[in-house]
């Protein structure tokens, strides 16, 4: 029974395909684990949806991931982590361990940057929800958080504009904002942003630590598997990808995010 539990898959979901950066990091960190990914492409972006809508989508997606017998369900979207984590945890109950992409980043920041100034970039929903600020303040480590909404970055990356002059000037414009002055670290508060991490690094010339949530979250998933003794005992098959709305451009974009060819299966959330 225990072995059967260990060999169940890890479920990862996001409003679209940005969460594939997290799925890719998990695959790199825990190659023996089977992944099931769900991208709610019919409803993206979550960044401009109401809390109630995001909660409804999240619960529906969890039904699918529970049906797939997932041992862990990771909300690989900052907006959904902010809006639906508590509700999803309650809804899923003991059927799976529910994780989000915000807590591992907050705990890393608390450990490494006590008493320092840290920047955050993300969607309007993530920044205006104040979820990072509340969680960081609650730890009482004297960390000053400077947040900037950077709404152009995610659509720019979705369209494949990175590592070129257009993305260069958008990134420079945002990072030059006076709000982000004098920071010692920058949280990439959106699962799209690891794809422009190198450009952000280059902008800061090594003076600011760039915190890639996908790496921190993948490490956290590994720790949870270890604590709960749920690590898979044998190498599992290829990851399985579902989307709620299929288009050829998503199929192409998934390769940007996952860095290899993937097959998307169409799974409408509401029939």
- With residues binned 3-state (H G I as helix, E B as strand, rest as coil), the percentages for the chain, rounded to 5, are 50, 15, 35
* Cα dist from 83 to 126, 131, 229, 232, whole Å: 9, 9, 29, 30
Active site residue 62: no
Active site residue 77: yes
Who contacts 75 (Cβ-Cβ below 8 Å, separation ≥6)?
13, 14, 58, 81, 84, 85, 88, 98, 99, 100, 101
Spatial distance between the Cα atoms of 89 and 76, rounded to a whole number of angstroms: 14
User: 44, 54, 77, 105: which is the annotated catalytic residue?
Assistant: 77
DSSP assignment of 145-177 equals EEEEE-TTHHHHHHTT--SSHHHHHHHHHHHTS
Who contacts 160 (Cβ-Cβ below 8 Å, separation ≥6)?
253, 256
| Closest-CA residue to 18 (of 194, 186, 150) | 194
* Cα dist from 270 to 61, 63, 178, 263, whole Å: 10, 12, 44, 21
Integer-rounded Cα radius of gyration of the chain: 18
User: 127, 145, 187, 190: which is the annotated catalytic residue?
Assistant: 190
Q: Phi and psi (nearest 5°) for 122? A: -175, -175
Largest CA distance in the chain: 56
Per the CB < 8 A criterion, the answer to whether 250 and 39 are in contact is: yes
Active site residues: 77, 190
């Amino acid at each position: 029974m225990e072995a059967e539990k260990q060999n169940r898959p890890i479920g990862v979901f996001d409003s679209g395909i940005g969460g594939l950066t997290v799925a890719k990091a998990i695959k790199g960190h825990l190659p023996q684990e089977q992944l099931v990914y769900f991208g709610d492409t019919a409803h993206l972006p979550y960044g401009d949806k109401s809390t109630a809508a995001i909660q409804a989508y999240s619960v529906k997606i969890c039904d699918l991931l529970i049906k797939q017998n997932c041992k862990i369900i990771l909300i690989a979207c900052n907006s959904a982590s902010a809006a639906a984590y508590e509700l999803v945890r309650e809804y899923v109950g003991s059927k799976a361990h529910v994780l989000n992409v915000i807590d591992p980043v907050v705990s890393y920041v608390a450990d490494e940057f006590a008493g320092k100034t840290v920047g955050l970039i993300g969607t309007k929903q993530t920044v205006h929800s104040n979820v990072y600020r509340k969680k960081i303040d609650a730890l009482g480590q004297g960390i000053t958080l400077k947040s900037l909404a950077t709404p152009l970055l995610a659509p720019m990356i979705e369209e494949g504009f990175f590592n070129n002059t257009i993305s260069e000037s958008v990134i420079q414009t945002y990072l030059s904002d006076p709000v982000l002055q004098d920071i010692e670290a920058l949280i990439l508060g959106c699962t799209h942003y690891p794809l422009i991490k190198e450009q952000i690094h280059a902008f800061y010339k090594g003076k600011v630590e760039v915190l890639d949530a996908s790496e921190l979250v993948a490490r956290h998933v590994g720790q949870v598997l270890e604590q709960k003794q749920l690590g898979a005992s044998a190498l599992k098959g290829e990851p399985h990808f579902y989307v709620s709305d299929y288009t050829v451009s998503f199929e192409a974009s998934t390769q940007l995010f996952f860095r290899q060819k993937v097959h998307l299966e169409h799974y409408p959330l509401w029939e």
